[in-house]
Amino acid sequence: MRRAPIVIGATAAGLAGVLSFHTKPASLTLGGLSGASVTRTSPTTSVAAGPPTGQGTSGAGPTSTSLTPSTSTTSSSTTRTATGAEVNYNYGLLSVVVTVSGKKVTKVGIGFLDDGGNFRSQSIDQQSIPILEQQALQAQSANIQGVSGASYTSAGFAQSLQSALSKLHVA
């Protein structure tokens, strides 16, 4: 099988502008084969496309985010973004958006989050998700299939991330 090392090109983006609190009927979503779609932007495009419309994802994705084309010697510097499957986590539903430049994961963020509008869970989400983004970048750089001792939230986060990376052929 093909397995390329992933080099982290940037830290996770901030949460502002990528969190959204929709209300929609909860449904179990399978990752993998029924997962996300992929959008591509050219290397010279400075504004990444929003999240794809599959899986009911809508609204505030990573719009108007500037991406600097990779300066590495990677053969393909095409910037691509994929949204992972929506998965259940401890407080509701989430999906992860990941951006790669060539084989580099350059950004990990939340594409969709529905915690039912509960204030307490919003507070927990906002504390834990930046940490999860950081962990995700580290985990992908370590090329692992899971984390032992992880929190409940991170299981859902990792699952959605994995499905997004699978769509991009980088994990």
| Distance linking the first and last C-alpha atoms of the chain | 11
Residue 76 interacts with other proteins (CB under 8 A)? no
**Residue 66 C-alpha from the chain's centroid:** 16
Minimum distance, C-beta of residue 165 to other proteins, in the bound complex (Å):
11
Considering beta carbons, is residue 53 or 64 the nearer one to other proteins?
53
* Residue of 14, 24, 27, 34 interacting with other proteins (CB under 8 A): 34
Number of residues that bind other proteins (CB under 8 A): 48
Residue 124 interacts with other proteins (CB under 8 A)? no
* Residue of 13, 18, 29, 125 interacting with other proteins (CB under 8 A): 29
Is residue 73 a contact partner of residue 138, using CB atoms and an 8 Å limit? no
* Residue of 6, 13, 19, 31 interacting with other proteins (CB under 8 A): 31
Helix (H) or strand (E) holding 126: helix 119-142
For the beta carbon of residue 41, count every other beta carbon within 10 angstroms. Answer: 16
From residue 87 to residue 106, the character string flagging contacts with other proteins as x (rule: CB under 8 A) and all else as - is: xxxx----------------
Instruction: Give the range of 41-49, 62-70, 96-104, 139-147 binding other proteins by CB under 8 A.
Output: 139-147
Cα torsion 73, 81, 88, 33 to 10°: value is -90
Residue 158, helix vs strand vs coil: helix
Cα atoms found within 13 Å of the Cα of residue 157, Cβ hemisphere only: 24
**Subset of 36-55 contacting other proteins (CB under 8 A):** 36-38, 54-55
Is residue 83 a contact partner of residue 96, using CB atoms and an 8 Å limit? yes
**Subset of 55-74 contacting other proteins (CB under 8 A):** 55
DSSP label of 132: H
Residues that bind other proteins (CB under 8 A): 1-3, 28-38, 54-55, 85, 87-90, 128, 131-132, 134-135, 138-139, 142-152, 155-156, 158-159, 162-163, 166-167, 169
